[in-house]
Amino acid sequence: MDIVLKYFGDFSPVQLEQLKALDAVYREWNEKINVISRKDIDALYEKHVLHSLSIAAVANFPTGMKVLDLGTGGGFPGIPLAIFFPDVHFHLADSIGKKIKVVEAVVEALQLKNVTFQHTRAEEIKNRKFDVVVSRAVAPLADLMRWSKPVLKKAPQDNDGVPSGLICLKGGDLAQEISESGYRPKKVDIYRLFPEESFKDKYILSVK
């Protein structure tokens, strides 16, 4: 957990307890349902928690905002972000039921009051709108935008500084993927935020 505290210092006692609890809960559930690779579980706080929180380093979600975590897997980036932003509502969705089972267990263990979850495909989410969609290496940018558009609220014109649209975590050479998407996302190099070896060639892309 020290790696998280190296870059973020302003946690309440409740947030610190929740962050600390992540390790044991994920280890326990990873034995039953493998949602994190065996070699990564020992680097949970760097490769999963801090990686997820890179979004918090570039975007400040205001109180009351509604965020959809699309293809959340075992709860990333949604759960670390929900700990970081306790006054923001996060809805975690994944098409694989056993992954949502892990999310449910983590939410219950941490007593996260600002998280809901759903076993569903992105295109099946109906009658709900979100201010922001977050995602982590789930699909190409073009697909992420196609799935996100129907569930995103229309952002007001004067929302300078307030995040809107899609914010996703990606890795590798993204030139072709961005070009094929037809979008011009803002790209942030995570290694410049957190100069750790594991964040080389890792990026945050945001499309308003």
The residue type found at 94 is D
3-state secondary structure of 168: strand
| Residue 46 labelled as part of a binding site | no
| Residue 122 labelled as part of a binding site | yes
- List 117's β-bridge partners, or say none: 92
3-state helix, strand and coil shares in percent for the chain, rounded to the nearest 5: 45, 20, 35
Distance, CA of 20 to CA of 15 (rounded, Å): 9
| Residue 136 labelled as part of a binding site | yes
Structure tokens at 139: 């699909």
| Residue 11 labelled as part of a binding site | no
Distance, CA of 137 to CA of 143 (rounded, Å): 11
**Dihedrals phi, psi of 123, to nearest 5 degrees:** -75, -5
3-state secondary structure of 156: coil
Distance, CA of 177 to CA of 115 (rounded, Å): 31
| Residue 57 labelled as part of a binding site | no
**Binding site per annotation, positions:** 71, 76, 122-123, 136
**Binding site per annotation, positions for S-adenosyl-L-methionine:** 71, 76, 122-123, 136
